[in-house]
Chains A and B, each alone.
Chain A
Amino acid sequence: MSEIADKVKKIVVEHLGVDESKVTPDASFIDDLGADSLDTVELVMAFEEAFSVEIPEDAAEKITTVKDAIDYIEKQKAA
């Protein structure tokens, strides 16, 4: 697993207080990990801070799973 993926996972575990084993790539923040809409906004802000990237509102809306977040950040970092 990439360094980015590791870090994303860690942030999700920390923020949502869920067990690490539940944070699979396909896990949906809202449906599987019990996040509400405010959690997802806070998560995106935590990603922005941790990775020094800016995630615009329309992109943030599409980040619904752990994999979505990892993919988006990897793409930003590669660019």
Chain B
Amino acid sequence: MFRLDGKIALVTGASGGIGREIARALHAQGAGVVLSGTRQGVLEDVAAEIGAQGGAERVHVCAADLSDPAAAEALVAAAEEKAGAPLAILVNNAGLTRDTLAIRMKDEDWSRVLDVDLAAPFRLCRAALKGMLRRRAGRIVNIASVVGVTGNAGQANYAAAKAGMIGMGKSLAQEAGSRGVTVNTVAPGFVQTAMTDVLPDAQKEKLVGAIPLGRMGQPQDIAPAVVYLASDEAGWITGATIHVNGGMAMP
């Protein structure tokens, strides 16, 4: 079950902790993966790492700066050219944070997060959907966050972008459903990555204390949910949000 042989998947933010694990997992199921991110060197390292498991010819690198609307717009076509086949799976995983309390948040902090975390995924969905609707097949998985549902002090921008992503996904799911294209969301909780490493230890302890399963998540906890949603077996689930958060929130 959940094999993805012959399918091409584009994963944005593939140089980050969760993104690289998603790419690795999709590849392990047989998919061809196109790794995107801003850091060409890191992407190449990730590609080499994934390729070392075998199937190196199914790993491609396609760097792009998603804060540039034109780059986001062009990424799907560029990825298809690299992989030599149309895109079957789009995983919008790239995201960044600019945390601060709202009263100190600058317009620039707000708009940069909304641009990269919400507008860019929209542009990628739009570009991918054109082909997927025509081909009557496709899977889009957007990586949101538990804070898009619960909110979080210091993350008004990030929480707004991630909540927006969930609403966007539900809308796209309705638009694309008649063509067999599904759009779903995975909302990770508190996962150990470079993004959360910067949090002070005291805050981490407090966060873990609020997780019924008693530990931080690992990228390996998130990727299987993406694999499932990308698979043929998930053909009757769309517009859904799968919460993978150790029980931290149960919306």
Which residues from chain A sit less than 8 Å from chain B, CB to CB? 36, 38, 42, 45
Contact = CB atoms under 8 A, between A and B. Distances in A.
A42 B178 contact: no
B134 A38 contact: no
Interface in B149-174: none
Contacts, number: 8
Interface of B: 130, 133-134, 175, 178-179
Contacts of A38: 133, 175, 178-179
Contacts of B134: 42
Main secondary structure of the interface of A (DSSP, over half): helix
Given A38-B175, A42-B133, A42-B134, 5 more contacts: A36-B178, A38-B133, A38-B178, A38-B179, A45-B130
Nearest to B176: A38
Contacts of B175: 38
A45 B133 CA distance: 13
A38 B178 CA distance: 9
A69 B169 CA distance: 32
Contacts of A45: 130
A15 to B, nearest CB: 9
Nearest to B134: A42
